[in-house]
Structure 1
């Protein structure tokens, strides 16, 4: 049994009584009750629930609409009730700029990229800059006058191709997307570490502001807060020691909460704010990890490590104020295949590994320089030649350090704070599982400054670690990243040209090339595609035809006595090209072979004192050509004989642009508004752009595709509507936008700034994002744009046409 036709809104079958079918001017039907209840955004208009076209709606309600008599007669047979399935279909599978990363990746990282002008690098000596992956900089804040700027540290975390590295693509990714591309090319482990580090917002840990790219040198930096160093020589107070110890423990506990183990600490990792509070500097911590790799590389020469080499490594670490628990060092050597003995495959690195370096830092505070010297002597004094066979013998080197600690503790504390002495000794235990936790060390430091009676009033909040993958920072991928120019790590540098090769590989399908088409004698005014040809109009009064196969010149249409201002192609039973000129002439040209120089037919519109010619053309499938004129009107002409059908009035200035979309004619004007007209009866529907009362921004170009309408303005703004609802208004150029093209998610704009800018539209019916993808520099003012099957055609004021295309 066939299904009975039903209302597309309430899905109730039509019965002629309670569900009465009414016909809208677009030809679709809905029940009278649903048409009454559908929200009406604009007066006397309604959006068809089937095809979503905006149509006229009688003021007296749906009862004034005709009944669908045929539907009531032939109940089962109706085929026009379903929405136009092609409206939201994807027009083209061509990608002008192919990207390898998904939208979710872009959304997750775009807000972590700092603006290009937000960071400046402080000038440094060439020696320091070349040998370090960390640079000082300045983060602009406030109104940008420099008064509120913050000092920051920049740590290199990635590389990308510089703009002057000789890539033959004329297209340049925008700054943010270049950084996104760099992040996408990183290893997943590197990005995971960056993600965790940038999520740390806990007390006692320095801030990380985001990522910033140095376009001049092709370097991606992690930007972190820069705090003050501390004068360790002047430190000699057990109370200050205890406060600092508590704060360091709190900072590392915060990192542990995020699933991060430091693995090692150095004197330089500890910084202080203006109030004297101790912080762990994440940028310095990563730099320390990289320095450890450099020290190991230098002392071992990339050869297997025995006890002798281990002693040299330990000596260098202690001498540089770097303290690393033995299990972290062994794990590091094991991962680099530098141990000559059979080490256990089990990784013992955990949160307990952070207790060791904190303990040694506190002891260094107590002992000062003498402590460092004595530790170095104790390592040097071990006879490593007798312990080269087993991994257990290598622990003798660490045992010597522990013996030294006992004497320092006794001499410095003079028998006081016995509980703390015991805890510090346990912190230096070789067995990670036998060490106390950071909270125990925190409590011992608290005993030095707090009365015993008050201890129960204060306790360290126990923080549950977040459910994320744990990793040790010094063993992570960020500490192993390449440092260009660093002597310690130059063996890890890619071969010459590898960065360039990788960049070309990433953009192989998105590399944009261009081809010049020359022949016009004046500025290009319009572009159209059809029948395998590109049609171009110009102020030189001619229309050129170019082959889309090899872009060779095929023919020239001549006959206009005035400058040609507008051009369209019409595909039908008789495919034609229609042009309009500044004198009011509308010429129709046949595109069938053999091509003729004279038009098939032509006509002229009447002129008045306001007249300044035809500025825009559009076509509807009903057989009408629409012209936008300097007399502020829109005229509908019969394509068949050139007769004037009607004149539409309402604009207060020149009608500069016309587009047809979903049964509606959109007209843009220098008066700053977009007016909507019904194609069925040429009646006025509504107006867009009146929400900015008192501010007149001339509209110079319109583009529409799949329910999206974009208007380009004289001041460099664009405004975007979806289904006639305003979604986004923003400035993308500093000067007039003369032309705009839209194809799916790609938006192309060009104008007085001589650059073709490419935006990507994304979002849903609630929100819309307009992201700058990149730009193509031009040689002159961009006067016309057209996108077709993966190719972008641009007309310029210098008489040239360029074809931009993507390919290998």
Structure 2
């Protein structure tokens, strides 16, 4: 989930005419499943279904580390800042959660207890939240990791401090044997695919067609939100990412702490806005013609945008307060597979195209990449933009699929972009 305030460095203007663009191969012909851009620490992190995580220096593009250890595809990543440590948390189809030291490239901790693929992972930092006495207190007291899995569960973990011993769970160990395991949140009856969290609230979306709102401090399920249809309209495209979305991206969920609202998408092609306090459906947003696999809130300020990306090859920009459709961004040749945004612009990728849009007017600014087979992931911050794509390369007379990492240095400009 992206929260960018008005002062966010992501909203700085870019000089599109003098941008510096470099690219190089990564992860062979495998899908790039995750991408992290960390400008303050000068790193880019990518993960893949080839079981590996790679760390690059942003400013030079040089490889820093290959993080080896997962025995399955890596499907979720999050950077973690805790107790003076610059860490990385990862979840994999090998059923483990791993915590890595980005200063040394070492795996410090291995958590076990999930019995299937760890598909979602969110780090929750201490936040001032109003208590029952109308005072404010920090929840949680220390950063937590929340994970969701195809095993139908959501788990809450504490993060070891820098002076704590490395914790490496034995093969087949139960989560209850881990002193850092806090809660096993159960109730979903099908795999959990969507996860969002802030403060003491986590929201999960499942193939069981429900959304659950959890208190991760007490372990209580506050609400079970039922409203998405079990039937949806699907449009089949000859595209490997879209075909994966049919089985994986059934739900996306976003928790909005500013308005205390939950946003969820389903295979039924709708977006539902819920009150996290009462569990009541506030709005049902319609207009997409297929599975909505991507949903993000653009800003935490008083004039936010809710953006949805769909298999019908469009993005839509909504007002999350009223549920009004603001813009439909169309023109992509196929399913939207990734996007990233702030209060000014959105970079969206799909079949063969990475396009920049003006989020406020709904108009195209520029096409940054054309002609690739697929765009896997995209992110930007300050003057930097990064993208993972796939293309067909000719090597020794053979045509092979190759994943690529693109880095743009846009500098700064006096123009609006």
TM-score normalized by the length of structure 1: 0.30
8 Å contact kept, 1:762–1:768: no
Give the direction of change, closer, same or farther, for the CA distance of 1:705–1:86 in structure 2 (3 Å limit): closer
8 Å contact kept, 1:542–1:559: yes
| Residue 513 (1) aligns with residue 105 (2) | yes
Aligned to 1:560, the other structure's residue is in SS state: coil
Shift of 1:603: 2.2
| Residue 544 (1) aligns with residue 180 (2) | no
Shift of 1:650: 0.8
8 Å contact kept, 2:231–2:267: no
| Residue 675 (1) aligns with residue 316 (2) | yes
Q: Map 1:302-313; keep pairs closer than 5 Å.
A: none
Deviations 1:73-115 (A, max 9, x none): xxxxxxxxxxxx9503448xxxxxxxxxxx99xx79x69x9x9
Name the CA distance, whole Å, in 2 between partners of 1:758 and 1:514: 26
Instruction: Identify the residue that residue 229 of structure 2 maps to in structure 1.
Output: 607
8 Å contact kept, 1:741–1:748: yes
Deviations 1:391-428 (A, max 9, x none): xxxxxxxxxxxxxxxxxxxxxxxxxxxxxxxxxxxxxx
Name the CA distance, whole Å, in 2 between partners of 1:732 and 1:521: 40
Name the CA distance, whole Å, in 2 between partners of 1:517 and 1:730: 38
More strand by percentage = 2
Shift of 1:768: 11
Instruction: Identify the residue that residue 522 of structure 1 maps to in structure 2.
Output: 116
Name the CA distance, whole Å, in 2 between partners of 1:736 and 1:517: 31
Instruction: Identify the residue that residue 88 of structure 1 maps to in structure 2.
Output: 7
Shift of 1:567: 0.4
Instruction: Identify the residue that residue 80 of structure 2 maps to in structure 1.
Output: none
8 Å contact kept, 2:203–2:214: yes
Q: Map 1:489-508; keep pairs closer than 5 Å.
A: none
Instruction: Identify the residue that residue 297 of structure 2 maps to in structure 1.
Output: 660
Name the CA distance, whole Å, in 1 between partners of 2:102 and 2:270: 43
Instruction: Identify the residue that residue 556 of structure 1 maps to in structure 2.
Output: 184
Instruction: Identify the residue that residue 730 of structure 1 maps to in structure 2.
Output: 369
Give the direction of change, closer, same or farther, for the CA distance of 1:657–1:707 in structure 2 (3 Å limit): same
Name the CA distance, whole Å, in 1 between partners of 2:213 and 2:156: 14
Aligned to 2:265, the other structure's residue is in SS state: strand
Aligned to 1:681, the other structure's residue is in SS state: coil
Structure number with greater CO (CA < 8 Å, separation at least 6) is 2
Give the direction of change, closer, same or farther, for the CA distance of 1:684–1:534 in structure 2 (3 Å limit): same
Shift of 1:609: 3.0
8 Å contact kept, 1:676–1:684: yes
Shift of 1:559: 1.8
TM-score normalized by the length of structure 2: 0.55
| Residue 589 (1) aligns with residue 214 (2) | yes
Give the direction of change, closer, same or farther, for the CA distance of 1:176–1:760 in structure 2 (3 Å limit): same
Larger radius of gyration: 1
Of residues 686, 691, 698 in structure 1, which corresponds to 2:331?
691
More helix by percentage = 1
Aligned to 2:221, the other structure's residue is in SS state: coil
Name the CA distance, whole Å, in 2 between partners of 1:699 and 1:638: 28
Name the CA distance, whole Å, in 1 between partners of 2:24 and 2:5: 42
Name the CA distance, whole Å, in 1 between partners of 2:313 and 2:224: 31
Instruction: Identify the residue that residue 641 of structure 1 maps to in structure 2.
Output: 278
| Residue 171 (1) aligns with residue 51 (2) | no
Shift of 1:577: 0.4
Name the CA distance, whole Å, in 1 between partners of 2:368 and 2:325: 25
Instruction: Identify the residue that residue 566 of structure 1 maps to in structure 2.
Output: 194
Deviations 1:411-469 (A, max 9, x none): xxxxxxxxxxxxxxxxxxxxxxxxxxxxxxxxxxxxxxxxxxxxxxxxxxxxxxxxxxx
Shift of 1:630: 0.6
Aligned to 2:251, the other structure's residue is in SS state: strand
8 Å contact kept, 1:170–1:512: no
8 Å contact kept, 1:570–1:578: no
Name the CA distance, whole Å, in 2 between partners of 1:691 and 1:733: 16
Name the CA distance, whole Å, in 2 between partners of 1:522 and 1:536: 12
Structure 1 unaligned blocks of 5 or more: 1-84, 92-102, 118-168, 180-508, 770-808
Of residues 619, 624, 627 in structure 1, which corresponds to 2:255?
619
Shift of 1:622: 2.3
Instruction: Identify the residue that residue 342 of structure 2 maps to in structure 1.
Output: 705
Name the CA distance, whole Å, in 2 between partners of 1:652 and 1:755: 30
Q: How many residues align?
A: 278
Q: What RMSD in Å do the two structures reach over aligned CA positions?
A: 4.4
Structure 2 unaligned blocks of 5 or more: 26-52, 64-100, 125-139, 162-166, 168-179, 234-245, 391-400
Instruction: Identify the residue that residue 164 of structure 2 maps to in structure 1.
Output: none
Instruction: Identify the residue that residue 577 of structure 1 maps to in structure 2.
Output: 202
Name the CA distance, whole Å, in 2 between partners of 1:510 and 1:608: 42
Give the direction of change, closer, same or farther, for the CA distance of 1:699–1:518 in structure 2 (3 Å limit): farther
8 Å contact kept, 1:705–1:742: no
Name the CA distance, whole Å, in 2 between partners of 1:591 and 1:172: 34
Name the CA distance, whole Å, in 2 between partners of 1:716 and 1:768: 27
8 Å contact kept, 1:664–1:676: yes
Shift of 1:549: 4.0
Aligned to 1:680, the other structure's residue is in SS state: coil
